[in-house]
Amino acid sequence: MLLKNKVAVITGAASVRGLGFATAKLYAEQGAKVVIIDLNAEASRAAAASLGDEHLGLAANVSNELQVNAAIEQVLGKYGRIDILVNNAGITKDNLIMKMSEEEFDKVIEVNLKGAFNCMKHVSRIMLKQRSGHIINMSSVSGVMGNAGQVNYCASKAGIIGMTKSLARELGSRGITVNAIAPGFIETEMTDVLSEDVKENLLGSIPLKRMGQTKDIAETVAFLASDKAAYITGQTISVDGGMGM
Ligand code: NAD
């Protein structure tokens, strides 16, 4: 039991085929009390209930600071502490730059980058008082390498890496670690929408010659939240089959 009795908040974890839910499931198996925060209250509650009675599902739009604050207060009310925060909620709105609207750019930054900021801001306060905690942010191989048609998404995911390093420096002296994960091409609803041609092309650029599974990512998110990773902070761990090297 890597995470026995740890209280873990995971955003964007109500989609049962997604990376967030795979992480929530593994965390629950490893003994954590899991809080799922996602857009839809019913979906969040159902996802949390499927893991067992001691878990909690809440609704919040991570890009809305007031909603994030209210959700975090509910977590504190129920469990009294937060040991782990996983900023996983994320969206894409792909387009070539000439066609990308201001709204497509802003929305992706608001959810992927400001959403993580909002959650880290409120949870940092709690972790600072506790003098312990682990924050794990979901970046992407696209944030490391760039990707045509994704200037908004890549900017948000590269921004996550910068925020991770900055916060690791701010919180390190209080025993709090902050790391990022850069997943490669993983089988979820986010990648289901890609055409067979695009998928074929991407597979050609992966040394391990397969798409990643959600479990591949969840295992790394669990490791970074455990005592085994106590001396790792400010890092971005690539879990991408070698795609981004
Ligand atoms: P997904 O689309 O399956 O799940 C994303 C979840 O985030 C959904 O449950 C959605 O409801 C939730 N969400 C969206 N906007 C939200 C908001 N404003 N507030 C709260 N919740 C919100 O995505 P996924 O493929 O599981 O990806 C999870 C994370 O991993 C994302 O940050 C994504 O960018 C990143 N990622 C995914 C891949 C991949 O190949 N799937 C690769 C690299 C990085």
- Beta-bridge mates of residue 7: 33
Mean pLDDT within 210-228 = 97
Q: How far is the CA of 143 from the centre of ligand 1 (A)?
A: 14
Is 181 touching ligand 1 by the criterion CB < 6 Å? no
* d(C-alpha 221, C-alpha 219), whole Å: 6
- Per-residue pLDDT at 193 exceeds 90: no
Is residue 153 among the annotated active site residues? yes
Q: What is the per-residue pLDDT for 142?
A: 97
Is 191 touching ligand 1 by the criterion CB < 6 Å? yes
- Chain center to CA of 180: 8
Q: Which atom of ligand 1 lies at the shortest distance from residue 112's CA?
A: 32
Q: What is the per-residue pLDDT for 189?
A: 87
> What's the whole-number average pLDDT of the chain?
97
Is 153 touching ligand 1 by the criterion CB < 6 Å? no
Q: What is the per-residue pLDDT for 181?
A: 98
Handedness of CA 65, 180, 108, 191 (dihedral sign): negative
Contact yes or no for 110/62 (Cβ under 8 A) = no
Summarised one tens digit per residue, pLDDT across range 15-69 is 999 999 999 999 999 999 999 999 999 999 999 999 999 999 999 999 999 999 9
Q: How far is the CA of 37 from the centre of ligand 1 (A)?
A: 12
Is 15 touching ligand 1 by the criterion CB < 6 Å? yes
Is pLDDT larger for residue 190 or for residue 107?
A: 107
Report the SS3 class of residue 111.
helix
- CA proximity to 227, closest of 58, 119, 84, 80: 84
Contact yes or no for 163/120 (Cβ under 8 A) = yes
Residue 164 contacts by C-beta under 8 Å, 6 or more apart in sequence? Answer: 135, 137, 139, 178, 179, 180, 234, 236
* d(C-alpha 177, C-alpha 233), whole Å: 5
Is 241 touching ligand 1 by the criterion CB < 6 Å? no
Mean pLDDT within 161-181 = 98
Summarised one tens digit per residue, pLDDT across range 102-152 is 999 999 999 999 999 999 999 999 999 999 999 999 999 999 999 999 999
Name the percent of the chain lying above pLDDT 90: 95
Our mutation pick for probing the ligand 1 site, out of 40, 118, 190, counting the most ligand atoms within 8 A of Cβ, is 190
Sorting pLDDT into bands at 50, 70 and 90, what band is 90?
A: very high
Report the SS3 class of residue 178.
strand
* d(C-alpha 139, C-alpha 217), whole Å: 12
- Per-residue pLDDT at 182 exceeds 90: yes
